[in-house]
Every structure is written in C-alpha cells, then in structure tokens.
Amino acid sequence: MKANPILLQKKYARIIELFAKNNSLTLAEALDFFYNSKEYTLLKDGIADLHCMSDDYIAEDLTEEYKQCKKA
C-alpha cells in the first residue's frame, strides 16, 4: 500500500531528525545518509507497509544500517 506523498514527506523529516539526534549527526549528514539508505527505498516504494511503523522504529533500523556501513 502506498502512503500519501505529503504525509510520507513529513514522516521522512521526523525520521531524519531522530536519526541525526540519536547519532550526533548534522541534519545534512543524516539527510544524505537517509536518502541513500535501504530504509528510504523501502519507505518510498511502500514495501511491507513500513510507513505504518513508528518513527522511532524506523530511526533505529536506520541507525543499524548506519553502523553496518561504518564497519565496512
């Protein structure tokens, strides 16, 4: 199921803000990582209704992806 594009944009903003805060990143760094992440692809494509999950849950998934990328 696809989410309303305007509501999805607002959700992206909240997730990016949480992600930046939780990882001590600037908003620009968090924004760049988010738009190049697997989480973003899943959200925008409506995969598994990920947009229905809480912002905290998605920000945590994004943090895990970020940690994995930093290890590589």
pLDDT in tens, the chain (72 residues): 677 889 999 999 999 999 999 999 999 999 999 999 999 999 988 887 888 999 999 999 999 999 999 987
pTM of the model: 0.92
Residue 58 near residue 43 (C-beta atoms within 8 A): yes
Q: Kind and range of the H or E element at 61?
A: helix 55-71
Q: 19-33 pLDDT, tens per residue?
A: 999 999 999 999 999
Q: Which domain holds residue 59?
A: 5-71
Tally of domains within the chain:
1
